[in-house]
Amino acid sequence: MKPLIEEPLFIILILLAVVMGAHLWAKWFKHSKLMRILPTPIWCYIPPSLLTTAGILPYQSPVYDWISRYVLPASLILLLMTTHMAGLKRIGRVALVAMLGASATVILGGIAIFFLFRSQLGPENWKLIGTLTASWVGGTANELAVKEATGLSDSAFGPLFIADITIVYVWMTFLMMISGNQKKIDRFFHAKHRQMEEVLHPEEPEHAPRRSKKTLTQSLLLCVLIGFGVGSVATWVGGKIPEIGIIINRSTWIVMMITTVGLGLAFTRYGREEEATATQMGYFLLYFVLASTGAKAHLLAILKAPLLLGIGFIWMMIHGLLFLGFGKLFRMPIAILATASQAALGGVVSAPIVASTYEKELISTALLLAVFGNAIGNYVGIAMAQFLRLFA
């Protein structure tokens, strides 16, 4: 069946309209329970899938390839360049150990899931686990980056994305529900309350970010230049690096190069001065990429989501049990553990919400931990995928 719309310009306009609509929807229903259950990324992904399934948009178009090749690198560059490198020093030893523990238990759970269910996951099993690991250590940006790096098919990504969002928000609800029993849990863990003090009152003071003296137009143009210019150069350089057998291909090198360059820009004044503009533009471009990814997925593929949901919940249970054991071993307060867990799995959007249910002063720590996860997510996801590929 021939799609109703094939003109590249019209496809771009429709995808932009979807992203704008998702932003407006999120703004209007910002404090509603609906947005907690169905966050902004879902509203960017599902509508294009519906349009494609209905025969309005095409499954394949040069536009989608162009977006993956140029817009995704630009969004990653802009988001990574705003990483608070100085702020990461304020995380403190206890919170950092908790975050590393959360990431490690996600990785161990992923390895266990791979060996338990690799036949059910199919030939792309290592790609699926690697991509979801990137999301559960970092966030959506990392998930999309590792999807491209591993070459995960769009038909497999659709159910994975739906399962990812569902599981993370169910886990978030669970963490919030147990916050009322944190004193009992802390007694069971024999938690050291001085660890909580160390997290809430770091020794190093926080420095206010430098504000740009440029006009909004100048900041926008500079971010476009940095995002697309630096992103294109990093993509070109990454594509020139020789492949290492079947372990690291050109797509992997490109994502690693973009990640490294983006984090490198975080040490420059542009990362600090253009933080507000770069963050907004970075997320807008990221959601645009997500919309184009949704347009390449047939909605019926989501029927495979129940399988991934079941496997994902088992993975989450493994993470939870291992992380609770980790917390008891190090006698950490449940507030720190819950904040670190959601920072790893949910990212900058949901981690502060969970943190606030335990201790409002933990919100800034939650944000910093989530930023740390974003910084390492691509590396961890790629490493996980390549390791599991050896056993696929």
| pLDDT tens digits along 61-97 | 999 989 988 998 999 899 888 877 766 666 678 889 9
- Mean pLDDT, the chain cut into blocks of 10 residues (392 residues total): 88 95 84 70 86 89 90 89 72 86 97 96 95 94 91 89 88 86 87 67 52 77 93 88 72 85 87 84 90 80 79 96 93 92 87 84 83 91 95 86
Measured on CA atoms in the order 132, 134, 140, 143, is the torsion positive or negative?
negative
Given this model, what pLDDT does residue 353 score? 80
- Centre a 10 Å sphere on the Cβ of residue 123 and count the other Cβ atoms it contains: 10
pTM of the entire predicted model: 0.80
- Show me where the domains of the chain are located: 8-202+209-389
Q: Rounded CA gap, 184 and 280, in Å? A: 41
CA neighbor of 358 nearest in space, from 372, 342, 346, 369: 342
Given this model, what pLDDT does residue 313 score? 95
CA neighbor of 212 nearest in space, from 275, 266, 264: 275
> What is the Rg, in whole angstroms, of the alpha carbon atoms belonging to the chain?
21
Measured on CA atoms in the order 279, 280, 282, 287, is the torsion positive or negative?
positive
pLDDT in tens, 193-238: 666 666 655 555 454 555 666 778 888 999 999 999 999 998 898 8
CA 306 to chain centre: 21
Given this model, what pLDDT does residue 212 score? 60
CA neighbor of 159 nearest in space, from 167, 149, 151, 171: 167
